[in-house]
């Protein structure tokens, strides 16, 4: 089975009272990480249409992992951490895609 693991990470924002400020600082320094598996054994990577499908799957996984499409109460604006996470996860996904395509070109 051909699988790719997409890892998304972003800093957790802490909204706590001033009394627990040192805990909030520790939480703000913590990172959130989520791995999603993207399967592509059903795709023929010699076809451009299937290459696009793989890119779309990776993009969707990046959005899901980062909570990019989650609706926030009171606003339609995207959370800044989610945007940053998505940009980084998307860049990682494209690097992974490039590596897969290079490996595939070499008979991998």
Q: State the pTM of this model.
A: 0.67
| Ranges of H-type helices in 6-108 | 21-29, 48-66, 80-105
pLDDT the model gives residue 25: 44
Kindly list the domain boundaries of the chain, sorted by start residue: 3-105
**pLDDT for 101 beyond 50:** yes
**Mean of pLDDT values over 30-45:** 78
Tell me the C-alpha distance between 96 and 71, whole Å. Answer: 28
What does the pLDDT look like over 59-86, one tens digit per residue? 998 888 888 877 666 666 667 888 888 8
pLDDT the model gives residue 66: 86
């Amino acid at each position: 089975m051909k699988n790719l693991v997409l890892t998304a990470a972003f800093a957790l924002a802490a909204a706590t009272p001033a009394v627990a400020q040192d805990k909030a600082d520790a939480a703000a320094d913590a990172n959130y990480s989520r791995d999603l598996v993207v399967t592509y054994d059903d795709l023929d990577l010699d076809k451009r249409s299937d290459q696009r499908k793989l890119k779309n799957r990776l993009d969707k996984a990046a959005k899901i992992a980062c909570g990019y499409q989650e609706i926030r109460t009171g606003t339609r604006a995207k959370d800044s951490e989610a945007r940053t996470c998505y940009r980084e996860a998307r860049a990682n996904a494209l690097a992974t895609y490039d590596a897969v395509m290079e490996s595939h070109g070499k008979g991998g």
